[in-house]
Structures are given as C-alpha cells and as structure tokens.
C-alpha cells in the first residue's frame, strides 16, 4: 500500500533514535541482506527471538528482482506480524537516481555509493553525488551513508586469499574520514579497516586501533561493510568502540544455499517448495542470531 509522508518521517525519526541508542549503549545493529521473502522471514524470527532491532537491506540486484515498493510492503507487514523493530537500508545505490528512488519509497537508511557504480569516479563526482542525496533526504529524514572511495570484494564465497597489503591501500584514515564527513554532511561513514565484502579462505582481520582513531575524529555514525567471515570478537570490540551498524550478507547466502541443497537431496520426491523451507529458515535464523549476540543488540529493541 505504501506509507504516508508522515509515517515515513516518523519511521526515520525512530531510526535516528536507534543510532543514538547504539552509540550511547555501545551496541551495533545488524544490517542483514535479504535475497527473497524466505531470508526476510529468517531475519524477523531472529529479531523476535532475540528482541533485537534489525535492519534489512537490499542492493541493486535485489531491488531489480523484488521492487522497491514490494520490499517496503513486505517489511512493514512482517514487522507488524512479528512485533519487532525493523528498518530498511538501500545498500550500495550506484547512482543518485537510484538513491532518490529509495528515499521516495520510504527507506529509512540510504547508502549512496557512486564509486560502486563507477570504479573510476573522481573525488569530486563522489562528493557531489553524496551531497545531492544528503540534501534530498532532508525531506523524509532518511539517514545517508557513504564513503570516499571504492570498497572492494564481492558478496560471494571466494577461493582467493586476502592480499592484505593491497587491502591496506584502501583503508580509511582519520583525517580522510573527517574531511569527507565534513564536506558531505553524511549521517554515517562506511569505514574500511580490514573488512571486505565476501567470504574468504582465511578469517578477516580488523584494525581496531585504526577504528578507534577514526571514532575519535568524527562525530557521525560508523558502519562496517563486509562483516561475513569475521571472527566474532572483532564485532564485540567494534561495538564498544562505537560502530553503530554492521552489514552481513555472504554468511547468510552460504548457509541458505548449503541447507537448501541438503534439503533437496534429502527429499527428492517433494515438489512443494514451501514444505522444503523450514529447515532453511532455521539455518539462516541461527546465523542472524549469532551475529546479534556478537553485536550486543539482543534485548535492545524499542517498540
């Protein structure tokens, strides 16, 4: 059905309050990518079980498959059904136009990522596009997130080892973060401290000392992308330092596919897909609950 502008603005105010609580109470909110309705159900069940606030997020591919308005309606319907605190993040919007459509659809969190759509984008292009979305979002109050350069990796299971010497070249710096936040006016800075999109053969290593220096330098929220495949103790420490949002995607996709393959193999004569899904729900829900516990957001929902 869609939301009224008053409802959208009220939701955005609540989302801002959530980010404030996360900073004050030293917990991070999980932003869990959904590929389909089944993944959304798993996230909702985990949020209900843990009484945790959650973000569900979609990138360009999921938006093309499901539709912005359909995603908005699904989230609103399940939020009411499960009685949970849940918001939507439009992740990695590659263009200004895509980000504006997310704002118009009533998404509470918007990630404008000019460099994702164009790896060769100049600093000036990234800043200009980000500034335009910050200004546009004032109409609804949506929180805008961005970063000053391309963030590497991909949301998939990778067989390649992480070349940390190359990754370090893309690390955020406290001074660079401050300059970007100041010139753009964003609500949330996407920090690069060793986090990387995707799941790799070796665990990721986060530079928490660098994170602390960035936290000391900027006043806005901090988000970590590429949370999959990261030892949980890093999340616990990052939340204490002052990270407000952590993105999880690939860990959920891996367990979804592996569990579905197992269920299909165990039930070769079953063609009613709905009967095959409960075990898949449970497996994805378990991953989400594990992250919620590490983020410290269990019991933090405000309804």
String of DSSP letters for 115-143 = HHH-TT--HHHHHHHHHHHHHHGGGTT-E
List, for residues 77-99, the tens digit of each pLDDT value: 999 999 999 999 999 999 999 99
Check residue 118 and give its pLDDT: 86
Catalytic residue among 91, 187, 207, 251: 91
Burial class (CB in 10 A: 0-12, 13-18, 19+), 91: buried
Q: Which CATH number fits domain 5-295: 3.30.70.3340, 3.20.20.70, 3.40.47.10, 3.40.50.2000?
A: 3.20.20.70
Name the β-bridge partners of 197.
153
Under-50 pLDDT residues of the chain = none
CA–CA distance, 10 with 294 (Å, rounded to integer)? 29
Three-point CA angle 198, 202, 207, nearest 5°: 80
Given a contact cutoff of 8 angstroms between Cβ atoms, the answer to whether 68 and 99 are in contact is no
pLDDT on residue 199: 67
pTM for the whole structure: 0.94
> What is the tens place of the pLDDT at every residue in 224-254?
998 888 999 999 999 999 999 999 999 999 9
- Delimit the domains of the chain by residue range: 5-295
231 vs 194: CA distance, rounded Å: 12
pLDDT at 152: 60
The pLDDT assigned to 133 comes to 98
Tell me the backbone φ, ψ of residue 5, rounded to 5 degrees: -65, -35
C-alpha 294 chain-centroid distance:
15
Residue 91 is among the residues annotated as catalytic for this protein: yes
Per-residue pLDDT at 117 = 81
């Amino acid at each position: 059905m869609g939301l009224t502008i008053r409802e959208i603005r009220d939701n955005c105010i609540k989302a801002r309050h959530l980010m404030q609580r996360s900073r004050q109470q030293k917990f991070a909110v999980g932003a869990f990518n959904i590929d389909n309705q089944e993944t959304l159900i798993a996230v909702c069940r985990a949020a209900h079980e843990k009484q945790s606030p959650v973000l569900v997020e979609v990138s360009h591919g999921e938006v093309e498959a499901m539709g912005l308005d359909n995603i908005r309606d699904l989230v609103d319907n399940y939020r009411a059904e499960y009685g949970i605190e849940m918001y939507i993040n439009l992740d990695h919007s590659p263009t200004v136009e895509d980000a504006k459509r997310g704002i118009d659809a009533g998404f509470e969190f918007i990630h404008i990522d000019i460099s994702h759509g164009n790896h060769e984008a100049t600093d000036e292009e990234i800043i200009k596009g980000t500034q335009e979305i910050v200004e546009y979002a004032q109409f609804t109050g949506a929180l805008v997130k961005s970063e000053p350069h391309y963030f590497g990796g991909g949301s998939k299971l990778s067989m390649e080892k992480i070349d940390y010497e190359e990754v370090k070249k893309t690390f955020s710096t406290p001074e660079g973060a401050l300059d970007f936040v100041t010139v753009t006016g964003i609500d949330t800075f996407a920090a690069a401290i060793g986090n990387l999109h995707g799941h790799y053969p070796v665990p990721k290593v986060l530079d928490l000392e660098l994170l602390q220096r960035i936290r000391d330098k900027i006043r806005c929220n901090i988000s970590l992308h590429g949370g999959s495949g990261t030892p949980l103790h890093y999340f616990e420490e990052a939340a204490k330092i002052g990270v407000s949002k952590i993105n999880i995607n690939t860990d959920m996709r891996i367990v979804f596919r592996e569990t579905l393959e197992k269920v299909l193999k165990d039930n070769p004569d079953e063609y009613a897909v709905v009967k095959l899904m409960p075990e898949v729900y449970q497996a994805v829900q378990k991953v989400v609950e594990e992250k919620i516990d590490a983020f410290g957001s269990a019991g933090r929902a405000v309804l």
